[in-house]
Structure 1
Amino acid sequence: MAKLSFAQKFKNLFSSNKIDEEFFDDLTDALVEGDMGAKMAYEITGELEKICREKKISDEAAIKEELKNLLSSYAKKTEFSPEKGKVNIYMMLGVNGVGKTTTAAKVAKLYKEKGENVLLAASDTFRAAAEEQLEMHGERLGIRVISHQHGSDPSAVVFDAADSARAQGGALIIADTAGRLHNKENLVRELQKIDRIAAQKADSACYKKILVIDGTTGQNALRQAEVFSESVGVDAIVVTKYDSTARGGCVFSIGKELGIPVLFVCTGEKYENIEPFNPEKYIDEFIGK
């Protein structure tokens, strides 16, 4: 049986017509099941209960509006605009299985359609399939892919891509990276090396680190964000597989705990299934309009 979304559970809570302590306890449970961390869920419902008591609110529409206001503090959007004539590097981070390589291709297509000169860098040299996948995407999209042989130094790929971009009078490099968290120490060292090279080779303020998270993985997404933030820093997140989840509370947890804004949301497998993050729309879908 399909799991109910938070929006459906939230709506069901109003069927008893009693806005009492039990209502807020059930709301906390629903938020936790909606992939919001327990600590944050307790804080949000505690705050909401206080507001409802002070304002003497008991109808569904008003309670929803107050919850929406509370959540909007933690769902921040951001936009990145590459600088023309400069070397811009956007490094895609994330664990294996989140759809990072496909997301790199989607982001590349999006910026190409905006008139940017885009290059893809296959910096996941550990997984042969990642390079092949990126080459395939590049061919389909008419975007050049910079790659080295399997097992070579991933930071050298970024180095060469940056030189190529400089020779072309500037470009946006979308760099795919490895994500094997089970070998965390090696991965962290590898990413830190790529990070140093990218920071040196990109023009000032033209280097961004984008973490790709799977919208269906719940609190794992927060833990992944913590690991990558500590290792190399994260400027924004992209939520993938948002079409197959009825939850999505991890965005609020990441916003609250780490202050990381959202750049894009991916709603399917196709290249065009990516859109700029719209906090209002996201919250409306989460809590139910």
Structure 2
Amino acid sequence: MEEKKKKGFFKKLVSGLSKTRNNIVESVDNIFSSFSSIDEEFYEELEETLIVSDLGVDTTLKIIENLKEKVKENKVKDPQDVKQLLMEEIKNLLKIEETEYAFENKKSVILVIGVNGVGKTTTIGKLAHQFKQDKKKVILAAADTFRAAAIDQLIEWANRANVEIIAQQANSDPGAVVYDAVAAAKSRKADILICDTAGRLHNKKNLMEELRKINKIIEREYGEVHKETLLVLDSTTGQNALQQAKQFKEIANITGIVLTKLDGTAKGGIAIAIQSELQVPVKYIGVGEGVEDLQKFDAESFVEALFAKEDEEAESL
């Protein structure tokens, strides 16, 4: 059953990455087929293509430098043979250890942060549903109290996932919500407490103070628990998502990234830039509206889906 789910998600991934594939891979393939030898011009063309494909300058320079070494090491002469080396290089940049998901099997508090509109509340709902399916006892905390819609949306998700939620009125103190949620998680022996938080990055000082206060409450009241901080980013915003991540990294100890809306963008290359430049793992990706369309990130599958041939894509649909 698990294998079937994985295959189903890979098909979605191949399909979801079609815009990104058209953006990156077609241009890259053109370079491989139009050059007869591997020279400086070949690398310059490849570099330019990767930069404009939302991989960004720093990540691209790292890839090209490593690629040159591999080409030399393996005595590669044919530009067509560089494609496999490029895929391996991207996989290496994206690879994350299985231990990064250890929190799923520990008593954990997951703080979910991100600006409004990136799919934060939906991500929490989908994670809650999946943890519940795995027989975990889950409690949600509606600590984004500045938006009544966020509270209502989270309550709706809690009902759909059949998990408990701790919520107060709009404009309540977020710290008080988290305090009550921690007390509930302890007394009801919850496995995972997921806290929604406000996403007003334009008012960074207030947001920083709020997150500091929430963390202090968790530390004081539930010190023994594992803490995870997931940043949700909208992949359709490309380089803006990377800038957001950099800003959030200044004010929070981010342990993982959730990249949403990969199915609606040509900017999926941003996943590579984010992980490479921030040194923070992309832990989950979303390629659709369905509950099962948010899955753990797998570098191998991502790169294979990104570079999938057109006939594989058609086969997967």
TM-score by length of 1: 0.91
Tell me the secondary structure at the aligned position of residue 236 of structure 2. Answer: coil
Q: Which amino acid aligns with 1:15?
A: S
Question: Offset of 1:233 from its aligned partner?
Answer: 0.6
Q: Which amino acid aligns with 2:291?
A: Y
1:46 paired to 2:65: yes
2:101 to 75, 79, 90: 79
8 Å contact kept, 1:236–1:260 = yes
8 Å contact kept, 1:82–1:206 = no
Residues 63/49 of structure 1: CA separation in 2 closer, same or farther (3 Å cut): same
Tell me the secondary structure at the aligned position of residue 56 of structure 1. Answer: coil
1:25 to 37, 40, 44: 44
C-alpha distance in 2 between matches for 1:38 and 1:276: 27
8 Å contact kept, 2:285–2:297 = yes
1:151 paired to 2:177: no
Tell me the secondary structure at the aligned position of residue 126 of structure 1. Answer: coil
1:218 paired to 2:258: no
5 Å-filtered alignment, 1:27-176, equals 27-59=46-78, 62-77=81-96, 78-83=100-105, 86=107, 88-176=108-196
Question: Offset of 1:251 from its aligned partner?
Answer: 2.5
C-alpha distance in 2 between matches for 1:173 and 1:60: 51
TM-score by length of 2: 0.83
Cα deviation code 1:215-239 (max 9, x no counterpart) = 2222222222222222121111111
8 Å contact kept, 1:7–1:285 = no
Q: Which amino acid aligns with 2:50?
A: L
8 Å contact kept, 1:83–1:206 = no
Question: Offset of 1:60 from its aligned partner?
Answer: 5.3
Q: Which is helix-richer, 1 or 2?
A: 2
Counterpart of 2:206 in structure 1 is: 186
271-280 or 62-71, which deviates more? 62-71
The 4+ residue runs of structure 1 with deviation greater than 4 A are: none
8 Å contact kept, 1:89–1:202 = no
Q: Give the CA RMSD over aligned residues.
A: 2.1
Residues 249/204 of structure 1: CA separation in 2 closer, same or farther (3 Å cut): farther
Counterpart of 2:31 in structure 1 is: 13
Q: Which amino acid aligns with 1:233?
A: N
Tell me the secondary structure at the aligned position of residue 176 of structure 1. Answer: strand
C-alpha distance in 2 between matches for 1:203 and 1:8: 50
Question: Offset of 1:54 from its aligned partner?
Answer: 4.6
Question: Offset of 1:268 from its aligned partner?
Answer: 0.7
120-129 or 203-212, which deviates more? 203-212
Question: Offset of 1:260 from its aligned partner?
Answer: 0.9
Q: Which amino acid aligns with 1:73?
A: N
Q: Which amino acid aligns with 1:13?
A: I
Count how many residue pairs are aligned between Structure 1 and Structure 2. 286
Question: Offset of 1:277 from its aligned partner?
Answer: 0.9
C-alpha distance in 1 between matches for 2:128 and 2:165: 11
C-alpha distance in 1 between matches for 2:118 and 2:274: 16
Counterpart of 2:254 in structure 1 is: 234
Structure 1 stretches lacking a partner, 5+ long = none
C-alpha distance in 1 between matches for 2:28 and 2:220: 49
Residues 199/68 of structure 1: CA separation in 2 closer, same or farther (3 Å cut): farther
Tell me the secondary structure at the aligned position of residue 91 of structure 1. Answer: strand
Question: Offset of 1:141 from its aligned partner?
Answer: 1.9
Residues 202/83 of structure 1: CA separation in 2 closer, same or farther (3 Å cut): farther
Question: Offset of 1:83 from its aligned partner?
Answer: 4.9
Question: Offset of 1:61 from its aligned partner?
Answer: 5.5
